[in-house]
Structure 1
Amino acid sequence: MNFAYSERTQALMTQLRGFMERYIVPRIPEWHRAVAAGDYPPPFMADLKALAREEGLWNLFLPGLREDEPGTGLSNLEYAPLAEIMGRIHWASEVFNCNAPDTGNMELLHLFATDAQYQRWLLPLLNGEIRSAFAMTEPDVPSSDASNIQTLIRRDGDHYVINGRKWFITNAAHPDCAFLIVMGKTDPDADSHRQQSMMIVPFDTPGVELVRNIPVMNHVSAEGHCELLLRNVRVPVENLLGNEGDGFMMAQARLGPGRVHHCMRAIGMAELALELMVDRAQERKTFGRYLHQHGSISEWIARSRMEIEQARLLVLKTAWMIDQVGARKARREIAMIKAVVPAMLGGVVDRAMQVFGAMGLTPDTPLADLWTSARSLRIADGPDEVHLRSIARLEIDDSAERRGSSSDYLTPPDVLRVS
């Protein structure tokens, strides 16, 4: 097991950090001003994307890119530390065409698209010409179990007709969002894992209604976490992604690498929060001492560093396993990072906010936004409890071969009896 950064990865990390420091960090105030004025995406984004592509920092995430496809196409392990660097600024990944949910949709299309779907949808995504959304979760059922999804996809001659409600659909408010990948049921009577299918739905199809952009923790995202109504949406049969009944399988294939991306970006957020905490602790005095000279604050700094390192190692192991044996055999590790990393991020950011005091609650620092992201990630892509349940079930299953053998480690009562 080896997940050390290769020379290629280290070189890309240096290049990416330099790009971030020169071109992205200085534009943070400009980004906030543009979004506040309703000018989204900000005018400078197109220029930054062109520059990133020119410098070879483009489509870094997607393994198996062909020679004629734009991008670098790193393995999950190679891409992981780059996602961490991008994660320090929540809009940075879009500059490099490495933003969710487009990354997951590109992975799906790369694996399952027909030639026609490839030309119409995947190539424009790879080139950064359009954006997309993934419509799976629903307000009326616990969508963390995809077999609960109620959206119906019915065959009608040369078309499918889609009816349902979706919500928390990231990117649906983006002005460049050209299509949705919609997950729904084509055969409600089939086995629970063969009922679902995925359909490519152009966003301008009649019957697709954007009901609202849902605020998250009272914060409205520019790209949107939207509620959608799909009412008698008709799409041609050639818009079916993969085969009927493949939807559940494709969702699992999509979520594995995506969770590595999410978690490494979250570790980048945690690193930023810790850096801010350490700087503040050396600048601010209370009761005649710098904050870091108080025992509780120094302990927070130490615990934050330990927790970040532990989380990173687990995510890198998971990325390595996905590369080596595939997402299915790494499903325990995928579940573990999804439960571990958001909780870690929330704890580190909470300490940083406390060190900053009242300032930590304001837009003067990125901490409030980082905290919101941490709290949201404990629900996004499935709540913690679902992942903990999966981990426990795998542990129980794995115990079958050794069940009872641990009793050898127990001390019999008669040995302990005092005569």
Structure 2
Amino acid sequence: MDMNFGMRAENRKLLDRVATMVRDEIMPLEAEYQAEIGKEDRWQYTARQAEILEGLKAKAKEQGLWNFWLTDSDKGFGLSTVEYAYFAEEMGKTPLGAEVFNCAAPDTGNMEVFERYGTDKMKEEWLAPLLEGKIRSAYLMTEPDVASSDATNVSMACVRDGDDYVLNGEKWWASGAGDPRCKVYIVMVKTGGEDLPKHQRQSMIVVPADTPGIEVLRPMEVYGHDDAPHGHMHIRFTNVRVPAENLLLGEGRGFEIAQGRLGPGRIHHCMRAIGQAESALEQMCKRSLQREAFGKKLAHLGANYDIVAECRMEIEMARLLCLKAAWYMDQGDGRAAAPWISQIKVVAPRVALKVIDEAVQMFGGQGVSQDTPLAIAWTHVRTLRLADGPDAVHRRQVARVELKKYTQEKV
């Protein structure tokens, strides 16, 4: 089977433009943007933050560097998933990168849901402004009282009452729900009883963020960081009434929609994680050649040569695995692609975490402080080992596929 992990010439030129903007225009503003958090209300953008973010987005849009995630779409650049991997890696080198080019999670996944499964009204009301980068959105699946790594446990009540559905329950880790620009949620709910097959009990419903009965209880913290003003929120729904027409596809179709949404989302996270690893390795190398101790450059002390080499080799291996998973996705067979997505979902965060941690070590005390971006990068990537399914779930899927080759029994 021929596998092509390359890129068409015209898209290579496009990628060079993205890489240049990331390095020359976005990265130099990172520290100033981050320093603005907490100067005023943590959950509002300061005037300077808004100026930085919206100014960069306007530049990207003016240059046509926008919505690269629309792979195989006449609305985008017609990138393959393999080609998009290179773009996502570049965007992943800076925390602001994905949003500047309107390729940020969870919006990309939500836009795919609206595009594939939404009504014309949903597309007009929610998809259009999301594609323009005028609003943000959130995806609510995980719940505090059940093991949500098994999504058949999702239990938020969604009961039909006349022309409405009524929602009661709690969700947490609603990424982006703290953003004041977040206007709409896509919510995984339970509509079916125990009499139905377990994968036909859940549904997805579109809920405007300002619907009465929605209460944001708190931001969830990751190792003490609340990720303001984006946030991962804990939300309570109390008798929240939503028009029945907001249910996507119909009752019991939640898992079907989730698989269409989570596959691309999982691999996009991995692509960006490789970019974060590359950024950390660059910082590590520069530090090792600039800093001296015991009369030598850090690069020449201890096992630092080996550490740099191991990081380079592991990044290269992770990238190739990511590209192979992307190639399988481009073949259009979700079932065949799934185990490859699971493999990279385990490997990419693991590699990125190792590289970031080694970079922290090279910086010493500064590495865990606010004076480098490494500490924040580490917390984000550590969270990625849980987001969109923890490592153990993905390893289980990989093992089941592997064992199936050697047995006729269900594994």
What TM-score do the two structures reach when normalised by structure 2?
A: 0.94
SS of the residue aligned with 2:168?
Answer: strand
Amino acid corresponding to residue 38 of structure 2 in structure 1: A
Q: 1:248 aligns with which of 248, 252, 255?
A: 255
For residues 344-383 of structure 1, the C-alpha deviation after alignment (integer angstroms, 9 at most, x for no partner) is 1111111111111111111111111111122111111111
How far apart are residue 160 of structure 1 and its match? 0.6
Amino acid corresponding to residue 323 of structure 2 in structure 1: L
For residues 246-300 of structure 1, the C-alpha deviation after alignment (integer angstroms, 9 at most, x for no partner) is 1011111111111111001111110011011111111122222222123510000
Q: Distance in 2 between matches of 1:108 and 1:302?
A: 41
Distance 1:48 1:84, change over 3 A: same
For residues 69-126 of structure 1, the C-alpha deviation after alignment (integer angstroms, 9 at most, x for no partner) is 5x43522111111111111111221111110000000011111111111111111111
SS of the residue aligned with 2:198?
Answer: coil
- Partner residue in 1 for 2:130: 125
In the alignment, does 2:322 pair up with 1:320?
A: no
Q: 2:28 aligns with which of 26, 29, 43?
A: 26
- Partner residue in 1 for 2:167: 162
Equivalences for residues 11-410 of structure 1 within 5 A: 11-38=13-40, 39-40=44-45, 42-44=49-51, 45-66=53-74, 69=75, 71-189=76-194, 190-222=196-228, 223-400=230-407
For residues 167-207 of structure 1, the C-alpha deviation after alignment (integer angstroms, 9 at most, x for no partner) is 00001010010110010111123111111100000000011
Amino acid corresponding to residue 112 of structure 1 in structure 2: Y
Q: Distance in 1 between matches of 2:333 and 2:11?
A: 21
Q: Distance in 2 between matches of 1:142 and 1:215?
A: 19
Q: Distance in 2 between matches of 1:128 and 1:268?
A: 23
On the 8 A contact 2:22/2:94 being kept in 1, the answer is: no
SS of the residue aligned with 1:36?
Answer: coil
Q: Distance in 1 between matches of 2:99 and 2:203?
A: 28
On the 8 A contact 1:61/1:73 being kept in 2, the answer is: no
Q: Which moved more, 1:19-28 or 1:259-268?
A: 19-28
Q: Distance in 2 between matches of 1:346 and 1:400?
A: 35
SS of the residue aligned with 2:95?
Answer: coil
The CA RMSD over aligned residues, in Å, is 1.5
Which is greater in Rg?
Answer: 1
What TM-score do the two structures reach when normalised by structure 1?
A: 0.92
Q: Distance in 1 between matches of 2:128 and 2:84?
A: 21
The unaligned stretches of length 5 or more in structure 1 are 403-419
For residues 211-257 of structure 1, the C-alpha deviation after alignment (integer angstroms, 9 at most, x for no partner) is 11111111111211000001111010111112211101111111111
How far apart are residue 64 of structure 1 and its match? 4.2
On the 8 A contact 1:335/1:388 being kept in 2, the answer is: yes
Aligned residues: 399
Q: Distance in 1 between matches of 2:333 and 2:210?
A: 36
How far apart are residue 36 of structure 1 and its match? 2.9
Q: Distance in 2 between matches of 1:310 and 1:251?
A: 29
Amino acid corresponding to residue 254 of structure 2 in structure 1: G
For residues 111-143 of structure 1, the C-alpha deviation after alignment (integer angstroms, 9 at most, x for no partner) is 111111111111111111111000000111111
Q: Tell me the percent identity.
A: 48
The unaligned stretches of length 5 or more in structure 2 are none
How far apart are residue 63 of structure 1 and its match? 2.3
